[in-house]
Structure 1
């Protein structure tokens, strides 16, 4: 695993400032031999223990990193992959600065005079006029770059770019000199971590099926109508933004276990929730396009059978409770759109990088009679996060206080 050779690296980060608050959130390493052949590839997400910054760029969700290892937990494995090798990156100055900053946080002494090469700087010699961006350099050599700003994709494309540079000339003195120097560089000895690397998963929306299986089947069940209403109330809060965050699903599982509600009853309660939403949508005898889309989306999130969703869309008559639903729990149910509502003057906190400037959203909040607030305290009514699974300090405090956390879409629903 050690050199000689090259270790092509790419980091996705929460921002641009390695020495400040920004952190690494994804790492990819590609080993390349002295001739440019790829020898191995590794990647992992990293939990930065803070919010994820501009998610529109790297497309990593907070739910992706909730269970990912921290940098300190994978630092030893990373050092093993880099030891004895020339570090290579596109815009290497950026990646090396973050590598140094993260290693410094491990409290281990080390020398930061890494032997490194930058494919962006080398492009001036090997690809004059091609442009600085990785995409431009790859396009000049017809190297395919899919999923840009995914660490594994960028690192692999950079490895191919390095290979093209190596193979474009007969004299290998430059490469050989760097390879020999890298073998002499001393890396820190770090305590071995106990966490497996965790690659970025394919995108998938969290639905009820992903957490219902974690709820115990209780025989006999000891929950009654009051406990079921408590579960429905939490379900209502979780679906304010029509999205299940990882934190919310864990709260639902924990509440079901605490109240003694079985998996089967949870499924029936989800059906009750959908039926009530359907009746509300049909109250005026008309189902609008927006209401139709909302019913389908909520039905999918709750894993309601397709035939039940289709029936709800076809006729107001089918808005009544279908056979098999938990009618015993309907006595105390409330309109699912009215379970949580904002009142004039309520304090609303914003966190994360929104699709609109926060100042613009704050103006809208003020115009509708609510109060934008900076800090999360017990008097805050709602936290609006760029990502409902945000790991920011504000989001963690809101969950501690039981304050609902919604995304921008959830805020818009509540403001309407």
Structure 2
């Protein structure tokens, strides 16, 4: 895979500061030969072991990177793909600084004189008067850029932009100098690791009960009783506090069912019972409001209940489960009380100070550290990999999103 040629690289990162706490969360490499022709492409998500920053920019969820390799695990493969080639990026200074910082963090010393070309800087010569953004440069050559801020998309577009530059200036001396220099550059030696790369999925479907029920076997003998059912329903209630099922929550439900000896069939029955409890509460005053109706639909969809079961809940105040397995009503088991400690983590849509002020105004206590006394952790992404989120899971503290916090504080 060594050169000669070009290796176009693009990173998605948690932020802008490679020498601070920001980390790489996705990388893509595209090989381009001396004539500007694409030879191959590779990409993977990267687990940074921390919060992912602003998901509205890169659209990567914490659940997406849970099973992705770390940078240390992909470093040897990445260097192999770069070896002997000119490193090319749109804003090469940014990507090179992250590359060097990540390699050094992984214990691989790398000099800063990596041979690079920057398609953004080259636009001054090839596209005078055009904007410097990747979108502007690609538009000038009618290069498709659909799905920007996805490493594979940006790297592929940059590779095609490089090819257009090469075609526009058929100058072997101009392109050949960096190619020869890069072929002689020596990257740090590394022991190869047999770690599969983990590309970002084409689409991200919401997590529902089907995703974890499928991991339970129908043949598992059910050795659980009412006490175990209560424990499962209590965890289910906490998992659905924000009407969102995170990957960590799904994993916790699978593990608990396995530990308690609850079969898949019983889990499905318990989900019906949980939904029946919500239905009874919604109809207690004889009226089903639009908010209550929307809530029942949300929960029914998360639990993968049939359309008939959900429709029945909206039409009549009759229980959906004729026989209770646990003998308890799991609904509304969790509520914030005045004075409860609430921890915020991650980059949220509202300023941290605004949330803290609202919590104080409603009688709750915003707190900075996660301890066993904390009642709730609020994250921009409930699957957050931040230290606060990991500690909350260790302590069994619920983690919800901003929408759930707003609903809880409004109803509190």
Which residue number in structure 2 is paired with residue 358 of structure 1? 352
TM-score (norm: length of structure 2): 0.97
1:43 Cα offset (Å): 0.5
Counterpart among 401, 404, 415 of residue 398 in structure 2:
404
2:328 aligned with 1:332, yes or no?
Answer: yes
Given that residues 166 and 172 in structure 1 are in contact (C-alpha distance below 8 angstroms), is that contact kept between their aligned partners in structure 2? no
Given that residues 241 and 404 in structure 2 are in contact (C-alpha distance below 8 angstroms), is that contact kept between their aligned partners in structure 1? yes
1:374 Cα offset (Å): 0.5
Which residue number in structure 1 is paired with residue 385 of structure 2? 391
Distance 2:146 2:220 in 1: 51
C-alpha RMSD of matched pairs (Å): 1.2
Given that residues 111 and 186 in structure 1 are in contact (C-alpha distance below 8 angstroms), is that contact kept between their aligned partners in structure 2? no
Which residue number in structure 2 is paired with residue 126 of structure 1? 126
TM-score (norm: length of structure 1): 0.96
Q: How is 1:17-416 mapped onto 2 (pairs within 5 angstroms)?
A: 17-201=17-201, 202-217=203-218, 220-313=221-314, 315-316=315-316, 319-322=317-320, 325=321, 327-329=323-325, 331-334=327-330, 336=331, 338-415=332-409, 416=411
Greater shift, 325-334 or 130-139, is seen at: 325-334
Instruction: Describe the shift of the 1:117–1:330 C-alpha distance in structure 2 as closer, same or farther (beyond 3 A).
Output: same
Distance 1:152 1:218 in 2: 42
Distance 2:249 2:143 in 1: 42
Distance 2:179 2:245 in 1: 49
Distance 1:298 1:264 in 2: 19
Moved over 6 A (4+): none
1:218 Cα offset (Å): 5.0
Given that residues 352 and 385 in structure 1 are in contact (C-alpha distance below 8 angstroms), is that contact kept between their aligned partners in structure 2? yes
Equivalenced residue count is 409
Q: Which blocks of at least 5 consecutive residues in structure 1 are unaligned?
A: none
Distance 1:219 1:184 in 2: 60
Q: After superposition, give the CA deviation of every residue in 1:304-363 in whole Å (9 maximum; x if it has no partner).
A: 0111112222x22xx3234xx3613252224x1x21011100000000000100100111
Instruction: Describe the shift of the 1:228–1:218 C-alpha distance in structure 2 as closer, same or farther (beyond 3 A).
Output: farther
**For 1:8, what is the secondary structure of its paired residue?**
strand
Instruction: Describe the shift of the 1:326–1:265 C-alpha distance in structure 2 as closer, same or farther (beyond 3 A).
Output: farther
Distance 1:20 1:169 in 2: 39
**For 2:31, what is the secondary structure of its paired residue?**
strand
1:138 Cα offset (Å): 1.0
Q: Which blocks of at least 5 consecutive residues in structure 2 are unaligned?
A: none
**For 2:265, what is the secondary structure of its paired residue?**
helix
Greater shift, 173-182 or 228-237, is seen at: 173-182
**For 1:157, what is the secondary structure of its paired residue?**
helix
Q: After superposition, give the CA deviation of every residue in 1:348-404 in whole Å (9 maximum; x if it has no partner).
A: 000000010010011110000000000001111100011101010000111111111
Given that residues 230 and 326 in structure 2 are in contact (C-alpha distance below 8 angstroms), is that contact kept between their aligned partners in structure 1? no
